[in-house]
């Protein structure tokens, strides 16, 4: 397909031919890779939690001997001793799940299997996600505020490498000329959540914003926009729950073609 290169003023400078955005969209493969790329944190008990007590062994579990719990009308459970006076003991149950401070009966175990993805499947998923990011339907699905707007911007958005030399204020001015009505969703905005969710660990919510893809040798830091290099790109960056608004540099397109179109 033919794609146009835009300058910092949003005007077309030249046109290139690329095959990056011609892969059929396979949402099933994209979903499979996104699920495999999710970072999973082990959720489990601390090792030996509830078990590091000196309870078992202090109580004799036989009749008619000193220090036994038999014949006293108390449950036969492991106990830890606080103090003793002759044959009188002050003790409390320990270790078992039914007592205070004991172990859990069936705790979760932090064992996860890392899903291995075939290289050809991964390549197909990235190409499919690039095509998906080139569709207006995917943008409507990702950014709900665009549903009532008719987009006039032609996708994909490829800009000349000169944009990386601009300072922050000039960069955002150039971004407004390039994106037009899409600038409203390009910058990340953090807002306070309404309702009881503020008390439950999700006080703030934030929109997805735009993804700016650079070549592997290029650098740029912009507050409010996700910036990533081609050699760090994943399927989750491109298409997680809908297609992402993406802008490429000309060098990034060349790097992607060199790595994916072989």
Domain stop point among 86, 111, 136: 111
State pLDDT tens for residues 110-138.
766 667 788 899 999 999 999 998 888 88
The tally of domains found in the chain comes to 2
- For 158, the enclosing helix (H) or strand (E) is strand 157-159
* Residues 103, 129 share a domain: no
- For residue 58, the model assigns a pLDDT of 67
CATH number at residue 134: 3.40.1370.10
Percent of the chain at pLDDT > 90 equals 33
Answer yes or no: is pLDDT of 97 > 70: yes
Whether the full predicted model's pTM is greater than 0.75, yes or no, is no
Domain stop point among 62, 90, 111: 111
Distance CA 71, CA 51 (A): 26
Domain that holds residue 226: 2-40+115-260
* Residues 139, 168 share a domain: yes
Q: Residue 16: left (phi > 0), alpha (psi -120 to 50), or beta? A: beta
Q: Which residue is associated with the tokens 């509830």? A: 50
Distance CA 230, CA 254 (A): 10
* Residues 234, 167 share a domain: yes
Burial class (CB in 10 A: 0-12, 13-18, 19+), 42: exposed
Helices 27-37 and 119-133 sit at what angle, rounded to 10 degrees? 110
State pLDDT tens for residues 171-207.
999 999 998 888 888 889 899 999 999 999 999 998 8
* Residues 52, 32 share a domain: no
Domain stop point among 111, 135, 155: 111
- For residue 112, the model assigns a pLDDT of 64
């Amino acid at each position: 397909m033919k794609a146009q290169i835009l300058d910092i003023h949003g005007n077309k400078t030249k046109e290139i031919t690329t095959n990056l955005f011609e892969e059929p969209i396979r949402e099933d493969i994209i979903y499979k890779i996104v699920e495999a790329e999710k970072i999973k944190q082990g959720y489990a008990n601390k090792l030996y939690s509830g078990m590091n007590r000196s309870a078992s062994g202090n109580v004799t579990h036989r009749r008619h001997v000193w220090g036994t719990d038999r014949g006293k009308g108390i449950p036969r459970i492991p106990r830890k001793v606080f103090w003793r006076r002759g044959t009188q003991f002050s003790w409390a149950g320990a270790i078992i799940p039914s007592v205070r401070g004991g172990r859990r009966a069936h705790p979760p175990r932090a064992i996860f299997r890392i899903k291995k993805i075939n290289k050809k499947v991964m390549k197909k998923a990235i190409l499919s996600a690039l095509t998906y990011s080139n569709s207006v339907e995917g943008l409507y699905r990702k950014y709900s505020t665009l549903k009532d707007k008719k987009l006039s911007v032609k996708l994909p958005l490829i800009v000349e490498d000169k944009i990386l030399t601009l300072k922050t204020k000039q960069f955002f001015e150039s971004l407004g000329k390039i994106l037009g009505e899409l600038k409203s969703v390009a910058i990340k905005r953090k807002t306070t959540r309404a309702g009881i969710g503020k008390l439950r660990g999700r006080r703030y919510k934030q929109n997805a914003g735009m993804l700016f893809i650079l070549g592997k040798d290029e650098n740029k830091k912009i507050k409010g926009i996700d910036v990533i290099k081609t050699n760090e790109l994943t399927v989750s960056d491109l298409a997680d729950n809908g297609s992402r608004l993406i802008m490429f540099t000309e060098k990034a397109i060349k790097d992607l073609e060199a790595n994916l179109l072989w």
